[in-house]
Amino acid sequence: MRKHIDIFFFLVISIGLLACQEAPLSEIEEITKDSPSIVGTPEYLDSPYVTAGNRVYMVGHQNGTFPPLGWHIPGEMGGIWNHPIKLMDGFSAKLILDYNKEIVLDNATAFTNYPYANRLDFDLSEHGVSVQQWNYVPDDLEGIIIEYVFKNTTSEDIAADFEFTAFSDLRPTWLGEQTGMIDGGDTAETWGHLGWLFSDKNWVAVYESEVAANEARSNISPMPGNGIAGSVLNSILVPANSTYSQKFFIAGSYNSQEEALATLSALKNDPHGLLTSKKERYEELQNQAKLTIPDKELQETFEWLKYNSDWLVRTVPEIGTAIGAGIPDYPWLFGVDSEYALQGYMMIGQQDAVYNTIEMIDSVSWATNGNGRIIHEMSTNGAVFNPGNINETPQWATLIWEIYKWNGDREFLDKYFPQVEAGLEWLLAENDDNGNLFPDGYGMMEIHGLSSEMIDVASYTQKAFVDAAFMADELGKTELATDYREKARILAQRINEDFWSEEFGSYADFISTDEKALHLIDDAIIRADTLGKPWAVEELRATRQAILDNPSDEERPFVVHHNWVVNTPMEVGLADPEKAMVALETAKNYVNPFGMFVTGIDRDESAGSDDGSFEGTKLFSYVGAVMTLPTGVQVIAENNYGRPDQALNYLQRMVRSFSYALPGSMYEVSPDYGMMTQAWNIYSFAVPITRQFFGVNPMASEKTIYLSPLMPSDWEEASLENIKIGDQEFSFFYSRSGDQNKIEVVQSGELWNIVFLNNEDPISINTEKASFTW
């Protein structure tokens, strides 16, 4: 097996005596050297990363291992995925040195993330060599390229053997059994002299080295499942003071061997050309919605969230293209996640993802429900898990209106308004038995039993009728618009009256009967006691006693959990200003340095000072969590009531979790739990920055932008460039000198009206450069 033992033995003995110098950059380093990159922290090397593509993505650990990961399919959400199937659990690599000394590449000393690739560094300096592992997934191909770069820092050639082992695991994604996808045992055959081909029915995974192997062998995979381990071993020679690289091409198909081999050929044809092409596309993403602000940490976070958003685009041609909610456990379609996220995607110019996802939600919801109800969750095999929570249907109306404001496309509105109209009819006809316009059922808080008249459902329903009225007006449905506006008016009034709790200085979690509230309180006491929250237990017991002492036969509002959704009346702007100010101050009791607690009773007396990592349970849970979406909702709520400095404070809390665990990404649960990349994070940043700080509120159908900047006091200069609205691009440049504020709007092509609203009387200008002061 060894062919260079004598040479290598000589090198090992003499290496300490040889003069060393820096090895030149490899070709892949030359390609990536001018790209943004972030090096991770050593403490999180044993935590996940993702190498993303729209067809294939890979999830492993930053140290080079592929441990069991995830809970949707327990232990199986890592590895290499080509939805709706998995290809491999991962791979391993090792150098075999003199006298069969083996060095397994499973202990990387550094992990570096690029927008379109990642790099793992292995320090083997005692042997005179270092190794880089590069991962990248070309656009639109069902495959991934793994490239190893060996650097020799000595003045003598270094020889060794190199072994690469892939662990197949051809299996269906979540809910595969509902679509007839049954996992069988993998089979394996050598692929020429270069690699292995694995099969399970018509599912295929194949890999190939660019160097012919000296030896190939297979065995049962040590990973969970029905996979096979297929290894190839070849000899390498790293010239003195130079580099040597070797690529491995991994391809797959859920249809046929022919498709997998065609992809393999495409990967091999021009791997660095594919990487360069993807790099150039990401440079375009970087320049779209380009933010420049004094807060450089927030600026960098915003830039990388644009990349994160692209990582979550999934294409399964038989089903379509849409954004997934998060990686690793939510890589498929969600209604509500998309309804938040796509507003942000539109603002950062990723419009294809917006239109494709909306089309999928619309078609699947019609096919599944047929009544306007919007689905909650669908796997990439087309199996719908949940036909829809109550909040998702009204939030669909708001999404469609917000996107129409940005594209002005009448055909878009004609196509999707029928789902809006049917959904609002279903919402009240099927879910409002008492006729008070508050739909009953589960909203954002998926707490068992919390399915009464929920504050978030009520708030989003009110906003839906506001937005649906605008759409009905656009479509000439005057009577419908009048009906919707009246419902919105009544809902705003009733929410402010019926949901408000003067005692707690907050909107209530829900409206319900005493009996149901007491059950929920009993459950909440157990939860708070288990988590060691004595203040919450005391408060809940007092609430319970107050109900028993003052019983009511009527449904009434209850403050029990202090869930983040009590802030949705401020998020949608329906809260009375006086109540809003009180509620926004109350919300400060339920934050820590990373943002808002999902469930307020989970916070403890150290909230606001505890900067430790969130300790998740062994079983996946959001108990005790601080999350980006609740914090983003709070940012928007603060801005809606003229408090940009408080809004910026919440943004900065979220920024603390950026790159905390995975460099270049922001976890769903702050700072390091749950999904390592999450779609709705872009809602929490793009909406407040674009629509509120810069005040950009377009009406593309009128070729008009309504402008009302609301800048944080610390920002004396800020710009937001290359914003796509309709078929135009706009750039916004803000500055402050003393007490005077100025904003300049630059546009090209057909000139639109810019209507400035910050002065007492609106000002309308339609020049290439429009400048406003206030």
Length of the chain as a residue count: 774
pLDDT tens sequence across 19-77:
345 778 999 999 999 999 999 999 999 999 999 999 999 999 999 999 999 999 999 99
Distance (Å, whole) CA 632 – CA 136: 31
Q: Using the 3D structure, point to which of 249, 281, 313 is the last residue of a domain.
A: 281
pLDDT at 532: 87
DSSP string of 442-473? --S---TT--SEEHHHHHHHHHHHHHHHHHHH
State the pLDDT confidence band at 6, using cuts at 50, 70 and 90: very low
DSSP letter at 330 equals B
Specify whether 308 is located in the same domain as 202: no
Specify whether 633 is located in the same domain as 710: no
pLDDT tens sequence across 686-728:
999 999 999 999 999 999 999 999 999 999 999 999 999 999 9
Specify whether 270 is located in the same domain as 320: no
pLDDT tens sequence across 371-414:
999 999 999 999 999 999 999 999 999 999 999 999 999 999 99
Specify whether 622 is located in the same domain as 510: yes
Per the listing, tokens 């969970």 go with: 224
Specify whether 391 is located in the same domain as 477: yes
pLDDT tens sequence across 459-491:
999 999 999 999 999 999 999 999 999 999 999
pLDDT of 283 higher than 70: yes
Q: Which of 440, 448, 605 is nearest to 527 (CA)?
A: 448
Cα 141 to Cα 80, 85, 259, 323, 594: the distances in Å are 13, 15, 10, 17, 37
Could you tell me the strand order of the sheet in which 740-747 lies?
Answer: 290-292, 717-725, 728-737, 740-747, 769-773
Specify whether 675 is located in the same domain as 560: yes
Specify whether 254 is located in the same domain as 189: yes
State the pLDDT confidence band at 12, using cuts at 50, 70 and 90: very low
Inter-axis angle of helices 351-368 and 410-431, to 10 degrees? 40
Specify whether 299 is located in the same domain as 177: no
Of 461-465, 614-618, 621-625, 742-746, minimum mean pLDDT range:
614-618
Is 613 exposed, middle or buried, given 0-12, 13-18 or 19+ CB atoms closer than 10 A? middle
CATH for 263 = 2.70.98
Specify whether 451 is located in the same domain as 464: yes
Specify whether 356 is located in the same domain as 243: no
Mean predicted confidence (pLDDT) in 83-105: 92
CATH for 706 = 2.60.420.10
Q: How many Cα atoms are found within 13 Å in the side-chain-facing hemisphere of 155?
A: 7
CATH for 466 = 1.50.10.10
Specify whether 462 is located in the same domain as 401: yes
Q: 719 pairs with which residues across the strands?
A: 292, 733
- Structural domain including 274 reads 5-281
pLDDT tens sequence across 421-469:
999 999 999 999 999 999 999 999 877 778 789 999 999 999 999 999 9
603 vs 668 pLDDT, higher one:
668
Helix (H, G, I), strand (E, B) or coil at 127: helix
State the total domains in the chain: 3
Token pair in block for residue 713: 């006091």
Specify whether 685 is located in the same domain as 703: no
Q: How many Cα atoms are found within 13 Å in the side-chain-facing hemisphere of 666?
A: 36
Mean predicted confidence (pLDDT) in 153-165: 93
pLDDT of 350 higher than 50: yes
ω before 328 within 30° of 0 (cis)?
yes
State the pLDDT confidence band at 7, using cuts at 50, 70 and 90: very low
Helix (H, G, I), strand (E, B) or coil at 151: strand
Number of other CB atoms surrounding residue 616 within 10 Å: 16
Strand (E) or helix (H) holding 275: helix 271-287
Q: Using the 3D structure, point to which of 692, 707, 723 is the last residue of a domain.
A: 692
pLDDT at 617: 62
Q: Using the 3D structure, point to which of 666, 692, 718 is the last residue of a domain.
A: 692
